Structure 1
Amino acid sequence: MRIGNVEREAAVRELGEHYAAGRLDAAEYEERTSAAYAARTAEDLAPLFVDLPRDQPTVAMAPQPTVAVPAQAGYDLEAPYGRDPVTGRPYSDRLKVIAALLQLFLPFGTGRFYTGHTGIAVAQLVLVLFGVGVVWSFIDGIVMLAGDPTDPDGRLLRP
């Protein structure tokens, strides 16, 4: 099986670790890295590690990329949109004013669809046929403006 640059680089990286640990001297390291860069198959890489301890298979897989979080003082991974200064609860990615205005001006559960409360939104939508849903949605919009509404995960909607 042919290998690519990713496998060659992984082998050279592993050889570098052995060199740093003192298992290889400079001449051996240079010789083996040259052979690793010249390798075409996984079988060509195997002899480079015969006399070295290995935790990995002959062909090392490329490391998976990770997302780096900026190293900022006070950055909270559990509350990327901040926390409520009074209660300390994390804020949602959705806005309270938008949800309330949707409930007031489109009174058939639109604001509840926006916040992610689909059960309540569907109930308001169905009850619009009987006239009750419009009143319920309107009152719900006022309560959203005056209260502390949450998203389905229990995070407060941002002010």
Structure 2
Amino acid sequence: MSQPADPDAVRIGNLEREDAMRILGEHFTAGRLQVDEYDQRVNQATVATTRAHLRVLFTDLPAPYPPFMAPPVWSAPPPRPVGAPPGAIPVYPGLAPRHDLGVSDKSKVVAGILQLITPFGLGRFYIGHTGVGLAQLLTCGGFGIWTLVDGIVLLVNGGTDGYGRRLRD
């Protein structure tokens, strides 16, 4: 079910009507409404079916208003890390290589060559990425293309082992 285009066309319930009547009572107590005008507006609130019907009861009154008439509260975006350029894409922990963990005992050259000579993801098993290794094993390395590209990438860029440490050169 789709939402109506106009938020004031949303149907209201007893809670919204009671809130409107309570707040009209506050305006009456503050002396902003005369007795007959207060009675008229409360009667209109009791038969209101949409937010628009309630909104017209408050157009000439200052705050307080019913909760649905309150402006939306927007939260500020999280602060940028110090030194991050504007518009930088945040790096989430676990997705980037963990340089603080040190260097792996696994070699990027060995992993790359294993990927190039075997179309079954042996290089991925060697560095501890068993999920990718199994996927390459089950698909025969994407008919050899996936393991070929993966081997070249491992040789050129390196990568990480199963613990997130950089592969040694």
Q: What's the TM-score once normalised by structure 1's chain length?
A: 0.42
Larger Rg: 2
